[in-house]
Amino acid sequence: MKITGIELRRIRMPLVAPFRTSFGTETERDILLLRVVTPDAEGWGECVAMSQPRYCSEYVDGAAEVLRRFLVPALPAHIDAHTVGRALHPFKGHRMAKAALETAVLDAQLRTDGQSLATFLGAGTDRVPCGVSVGIMNSIPQLLDTVTGYLDEGYVRIKLKIEPGWDLAPVRAVRERFGDDLLLQVDANAAYTLADAPHLARLDDFGLLLIEQPLAGDDMVQHARLATRLTTPVCLDESIESAEHAAAAITLGACSIINVKPGRIGGYLEARRIHDLARAHGVALWCGGMLETGIGRAANLALAALPGFTLPGDTSASRRYYATDITAPFELHEGHLEVPTGPGIGVDPVHDILDEVTVSTEWITV
Ligand SMILES: O=C(O)CCC(=O)N[C@@H](C(=O)O)c1ccccc1
């Protein structure tokens, strides 16, 4: 496939409500979109890097810079999605930037071939059950009202952000209010240390599906030690940046569940490799989220439809984060979202809306 050029587009998307995690509060997303242009089709990729390097070391200005200076110039004139990874391999890290570029190339390729991303990846279903991520709140009553609203919308699983000082009480309150049948999990975003093991073990009383990333991203061995101290399954997010990391975590017993975020691990091809590895070892997967617009959300739904994704993910409806999405909004139906069936990611930006939220565009001739 011949690439004519690539557009880097920065958009600013206000969130419908502040989203607080253990590493900060988001009120809007500064998002980098990539549009790969070929003679036969255009492809879209969404870079999930945040404005600041708080979730991981990448941040959106850095992603734009590494794409502009190193990654896009490294692409050969003729390419397909399988060769992007090889062309970018000499450059270390920057997985979110690489993922966005590979995804945009893959989207253009699949649109040209008339194949959906879901079919390309091996999806086994046309709709996926949806969980929702609930931020750290100012009070328990506010939290209970928020969870009530999401359950009324039909979400099948609740994920509560936790941190030291906001963990046992909110989990207890939600479990007591909504009962033992509620699918409930927590996400610490690396806010604890192994010294907190006795405290974290008290979460075992609440029948949680999992505890996500309790310790630091590079604490793989410590997670393995923590897992022996808890009955709640440990799920890793930030620690897993590749299939190799997943293999190491499984071998060490650092996790029994993995949150797969294609941006974090370098793209959908690597996500498929993690899927196959996890299935071979009986490790459950679910698809995480990075507050994506409908562009990234569409691609994540294709991934979440793979057979190894056995737990509800964070692929929530567009309205969970955005009053107006840049694509036709993804809307929950009986707790599920439909997997796009069109070629490539199966959605296109609504150009009037996209133009309204666009801060800058930059064209790079390849
Ligand atoms: O549904 C979503 O898109 C967000 C899900 C979510 O909680 N993402 C968390 C996470 O750590 O997984 C996150 C929030 C903010 C920034 C990065 C990541």
Mapping DSSP onto H, E and C, the string for 301-317 reads HHHHCCCCECCCECCCC
Count the residues in the chain. 366
Dihedral angle sign, alpha carbons of residues 299, 302, 306, 309: positive
Q: What is the pLDDT of residues 262-284, one digit of tens each?
A: 999 999 999 999 999 999 999 99
196 and 173 within one domain = yes
Residue type, 113: D
* Orientation of helix 81-88 relative to helix 268-280, angle to 10°: 90
Q: Is residue 297 part of a domain?
A: yes
Do 261 and 168 share a structural domain?
yes
Note whether 36 and 3 are within 8 A (CB). yes
Determine the atom of ligand 1 nearest the C-alpha atom of 26.
15
Q: Give nearest CA residue, ligand 1 atom 13.
A: 290
Q: Are residues 161 and 303 in the same domain?
A: yes
Q: Containing domain of residue 296, as a range?
A: 118-338
Domain assignment present for 246 = yes
Q: What is the mean pLDDT of residues 342-350?
A: 98
pLDDT at 110 over 90: yes
Closest CA to 314 of 354, 285, 275: 285
**Residue 215 DSSP one-character state:** S
- Quote the ligand 1 centre to 76 CA distance (angstroms): 34
Q: Is 270 in the pocket of ligand 1 (CB under 6 A)?
A: no
For residue range 227-249, list pLDDT tens digits in order. Answer: 999 999 999 999 999 999 999 99
Question: Mean pLDDT throughout 138-157?
Answer: 98
Question: How does pLDDT run across 116-137, given as a tens digit for each residue?
Answer: 999 999 999 999 999 999 999 9
- pLDDT in the model for residue 77: 84
Same domain for 78 and 123: no
pLDDT at 298 exceeding the cut of 90: yes
Confidence of residue 36 (pLDDT cuts 50, 70, 90): very high
- In this structure, are 106 and 235 located in the same domain? no
Residue 12 DSSP class: E
Which band of pLDDT confidence, cut at 50, 70 and 90, is reported for residue 29?
Answer: very high
The total number of structural domains that make up the chain: 2
Kindly give the distance from the C-alpha atom of residue 291 to the centroid of ligand 1, in angstroms, as a whole number: 6
CATH number of the domain where residue 40 is located: 3.30.390.10
Residue among 290, 295, 325, 332 whose CB has most ligand 1 atoms within 8 A, to mutate: 290
Q: Are residues 269 and 297 in the same domain?
A: yes
343: in domain: no
**In angstroms, rounded to a whole number, what is the distance separating the alpha carbons of residues 366 and 361?**
16
Of residues 366 and 261, the one with the higher pLDDT is: 261
